[in-house]
Structure formats: C-alpha cells, structure tokens
Amino acid sequence: MLSLLSIVLTFLSLVIMPCLFVSWRLLVPLSITNIRRFIKTAASQSNNREESGTTGEKEKGGKMPKHVAIILDGNRRWAEKRGLGPSQGQEAGARTVMENVKDYFSMGINTVSLFAFSTENWGRPGDEVNYIMDMFEKLVKSEMSNLRRYGVKVSVIGKRTNIRESLLDLIREAEEATKNNKEKHLIVALDYSGKFDILQACKSLAEKAKNGLINVEDIDENLMDKELMTSCSEFPNPDLLIRTSGEQRISNFYLWQSAYTELYFPSVLWPDFGGTEYLEALDWYQKRQRRFGRRV
Amino acid sequence: MGGGGVSQLLEQIHMLSRRCLFRVLSMGPLPIHLAFIMDGNRRFAKKRGLEDGSGHKAGFSALMTMLQYCYELGVKYVTIYAFSIDNFRRKPEEVQSLMDLMLVKIKSLLDKESIVHQYGIRVYFIGNLGLLNKQVRAAAEEVMKATAENSRVVLLVCVAYNSTDEILQAVKRSCADKDVERERERVRLVDIEENMQMSVAPEPDILIRSSGETRLSNFLLWQTGHCQLFSPDALWPEIGLRHLVWAILNFQRSHSYLEKKKKKKQL
C-alpha cells in the first residue's frame, strides 16, 4: 500500500515539476488548457520544422511573431451588453491591458503595439474623451513601476499636439525611465493615424530631398521605414495584427507597416481577451504559410 | 439540338434569378468600389492535378464571371491584384508564362465580344509598368487608350504593383512638382493623394481575398484604412456568386454603423 502511494507521488512530481518549470519560463499560468495548448504548439512546431526541411523555399512556419499589434476594439459594446456606461467599458479594457501586458511578451515576442487611441477618436463625445485621457494618466502612473520591474521599454507614438500637458509629462517620464530596457518593447499608439504616419514620413523625406541631404531617386522603402514613427522599434513591421470584436478592418492603424502582416479577427470583445485568447491567436499565426509573393 | 435549348433555358433562368437577387440586395446600401486579391490559382491546379499554367487560366475565367456579376449588380469600380512586384521573384519560367497569359488576355480585351464592350468598361493599368516587358506594356497602353472614352464602369488592373511602391512614386512625384526655388512649399496630404495612381477611383468599400489568407500582401495599404476585409476560404477559381453576396451582406450590416461614425467623424 505504502509503496503504491510512493510510486503515485513520485509519478505526480515527475509530471508536475516540468509543468511548473515550463509555466514559469513562459510566464503563463499553469492550467489544463495551457498544458494542452503547449503540447499542441510544440507538436505543430516540430511538424513545421520537418516540412520546411523538405521544401527549402517555404517560409518557416511554427515561428513566433517578433512584433504583435493589437487593436483594442469592443469596450463600449462590452459595456452595452452588461447595461453599463461606455466609461466602464473603457475601464474594463484598461484592466485587461494591465492584467495581461507582461504575458504578451512571453515566447520570444519582442515588440507589442497597442492601438489605444486613434486620431479619429477625438470626434467622440467630449466627456468620453476626457474620461479616456484621465484613465491614461492614471494608468501610466500606476503601471510605471510594474513596467520598470518587467524590464519593458515604453514608447508612445502619435501626434502630440492635442494631448494635454500633464499626460505628455507622464509619457516623457515613462519613456525616459524605461529607455534602456532591451528585450521587451511596448509601443502605445496614442492619437495615431496610419495615413498621418506615412504623410509625416513623406514630408520629412521631401524636406531632406529639398535640402539636398538625399536624392529624390534614392527614396526607397528603407528610407521610408526610418522616417515612420515605428522606427523606434527593432522590429517596426508587425508579423501579427489582432483586432478584437469581430470587425474586419484596420481602421487606419498601421497601414504601411501591415504590408505582409497576418490579420487575425477574433469575435471576442476586448475586455474578454485574456491569456487563452492570446495563445489561440499565436497558435493561429503559427499555422500560417507566409510566402511574401514567392512560390511555396 | 434539344440539349442546347435546355442549357440556354437554364442560363436564362439563372440570369433572371440573379437579377431578382441583385434587386433585393440593392434595397440596402451597395459598395461603389470592390477590390479583389485573386489568390489560390496554383493551389487550385495542384488540387485538381492539372498542369501548372491552367490554374491561372481557370482564374481568368473566374475573374470574367465575377466582373460580370459586379457590373450587373451596379458596382462602379472594380480593382484586381493581377501581379505584384514581389511575384517577379518567382521562378523565371512561371513569371514568363504569366506574362504570356497576360499579353493574350490584355489583347483579348480589345475584341468586339469582350466584356469591355459589353459593359462599357474603362480600363486602367496601375503599377510600375516600366518593369513589364515591352509587348505587355504596349498592349496595356493600347487598351487604356482604346477605353479612355468609356465612362459607365471602371476596371483597375494592378500589375507590377506594390502599395509601398505606389506611395514612394507619389512622394517622388510630389517632390518633383514643388518648385525648388519656392521657400515654404511643403508637401501636403492632398499632394500625395493626387499623385497616387489609384486616385482615379475612390477608396474601396470591400476587399475580398480568396483562399482564406488574411493578409494585404502590399495591396492598397493607403486606401484600405477603413475598408471592410473579407476572406472566403474558396480558392480564386472556385469563387462564385454566393461569396460576393455574402461579402455584400456583411458590408450592409456594418455600413449604417460606419456611415453614422463618418458623419460624426468618430471613426
């Protein structure tokens, strides 16, 4: 009886200890769903490695994205469904970001971009906009220490002309405090418009051409990449773009940068987008065959 | 004799029921501009065990059918992604066979029985045409000239096209436009937009990419900021009326919401 018990306990510890170790390394909570996902991901990774061995030209499937961009859509609909006001929806959305942000960088993902506020959103009712700005201020203040602790570099991209001074000061402080962090980069798009980003890059290139710093004929994609607001990142072009709430549009987020991005449109609303849904997105990404116009 | 009569009758019935369906659809808002990424031709040929070039030929007939449906429905602008600058990186034999097919099909557009004359289509060839070989380029320019007077509907064929290339060309042209001597001349949004080749059409309302891939692949990046994306799983030669109808129904579902936002400028 005792020997049977000891055998069972030994077996359990042999199984649970590796699970705990993997969950600690991947920064993912230990649960049956996550164990299943990990096994599925590992299996598909080894499958894809076999396949890319046989056809040399195929892009390596099974790799993790280096840059994930997320459009946080569905906060107001989430609140409406529960009979709450839109500001409570925004708050729930912010809470989702705070709870999950460190997990976004697991599995080797270097850069995460969040579409927090679009230039078009200024057209929303004044009190909603003010509430959102107040919320951003609160968020930056409360999350600063956490982000420093996780070693995350924070960059805020977008027009800065309409943002209030107090929020701008907090942003500058956050960027300054985290500028030396390397492995993880969080880009927050605040008052961002993809068209404006391309336009300001074009203006900058035109200025340089006018001042003789570059030749007009030399203007190419690389020069453009350096002028865009995403040039602050090591991986400016997202590999995966997630837009929650089921709407299948890019809504003027990364336009130039999304040329070859895989687009994923889950129907879940943003406040309900947790770690599990994120893993599902990554799983979906790994199954994509990326050809970049060439033959498979 | 009887068989031919029956199939003709069936075709008439099909056309009538299609007209009814389109009448019903036009009760709601209709897109003005549809864009298509015709993906999956090679996979189709592989699936059916056909030889390599026949996937693209099947794709071409699917395209003609789709154009017919679009123009019957009342869509004014249709843009198709025929050949990307990235596709030049494919095997030389494949690129050559694609160029040969394009030459034949472009020339066929000038025929009296072609769809161009049937619907009065004005054809534009958008892209870096200098990258094409002389014959294809000459044929394309001939078609553009021959259809310049048509005004009912428009077909924009993107060949040797990349959205990033289009934007860069627009920047270079804007730089050249501005007088070097004039002091405070700065490039404005309207300058870039005017110099984009796609400025001859409004922004697309729906972008349909066949074969289930959800990527833009460097197509109309500037123009699809607020465009509805639709990715049916069917490969391009398998695309049919039901996919078009479904895309339009989806468009109609979110259209009123989007129009409201546009009016309030809240997007």
Report pLDDT for A58.
33
Report pLDDT for B141.
94
SS3 A245: coil
SS3 B182: coil
Which residues numbered 38-77 in B keep a CB inside 8 Å of some CB on A?
42
Report pLDDT for B265.
56
Q: Report chain A residues whose CB lies below 8 A from the CB of B91.
A: 295
Amino acid residing at B100: D
Mean pLDDT of chain B: 88
Residue among B94, B171, B222 whose CB faces A205 most closely: B171
* A43-47, A153-157, B2-6, B184-188: segment of lowest average pLDDT: A43-47
Report pLDDT for B179.
52
Nearest chain B residue to A265, by CA = B214
Is residue A104 within 8 A of residue A112, CB to CB? The reply is: yes
| Helix, strand and coil in chain A, % to nearest 5 | 55, 10, 30
Structure confidence by residue, pLDDT tens digits, B46-68: 998 888 778 999 999 999 999 99
Nearest chain A residue to B94, by CA = A295
Mean pLDDT on A212-224: 89
pLDDT at A88 exceeding the cut of 80: yes
pLDDT at A294 exceeding the cut of 70: no
CB contact under 8 Å between B229 and A258, yes or no, is no
pLDDT at A296 exceeding the cut of 50: no
Q: Is B39 a catalytic residue?
A: yes
Q: CA A108, CA A264: separation in Å to the nearest integer?
A: 19
| Helix, strand and coil in chain B, % to nearest 5 | 55, 15, 30
Mean pLDDT on B157-180: 85
| Angle of helix B54-73 versus helix B41-48 axis, rounded to 10 | 120
β-partners of residue B8 are none
Report pLDDT for A258.
95
Report pLDDT for A150.
87
The two three-digit tokens of residue A245, written as one number: 């709430």
**Closest-CA residue to A162 (of A115, A127, A119, A128):** A119
Reported as a pLDDT band with limits 50, 70 and 90, residue A59 is: very low
Q: CA B152, CA A269: separation in Å to the nearest integer?
A: 42
Is residue A171 within 8 A of residue A203, CB to CB? The reply is: no
pLDDT at B251 exceeding the cut of 90: yes
The two three-digit tokens of residue B83, written as one number: 């050949």
Reported as a pLDDT band with limits 50, 70 and 90, residue A62 is: low
Mean pLDDT on A91-120: 90
Mean pLDDT on B108-134: 90
- The most confident of the ranges A57-66, A96-105, A143-152, B78-87 is B78-87
pLDDT at B8 exceeding the cut of 70: yes
Report pLDDT for A37.
67
Domain-wise residue ranges, chain B: 31-161+201-266
Mean pLDDT on B230-236: 94
Mean pLDDT on A213-226: 90
Is residue A275 within 8 A of residue A100, CB to CB? The reply is: yes
Report pLDDT for B174.
82
Is residue A140 within 8 A of residue A97, CB to CB? The reply is: no
**Exposure string over B44-81, b if 16+ CB within 10 A, otherwise e:** bbeeeeeeebebbbbbbebbeebbebbbebebbbbbbb
Superfamily of segment(s) B31-161+201-266: Decaprenyl diphosphate synthase-like (3.40.1180.10)
Nearest chain A residue to B218, by CA = A259
Q: CA A77, CA A63: separation in Å to the nearest integer?
A: 34
Reported as a pLDDT band with limits 50, 70 and 90, residue B165 is: very high
Report pLDDT for B62.
95
Report pLDDT for B29.
92
pLDDT at A60 exceeding the cut of 70: no
Higher pLDDT, B84 or A49: B84
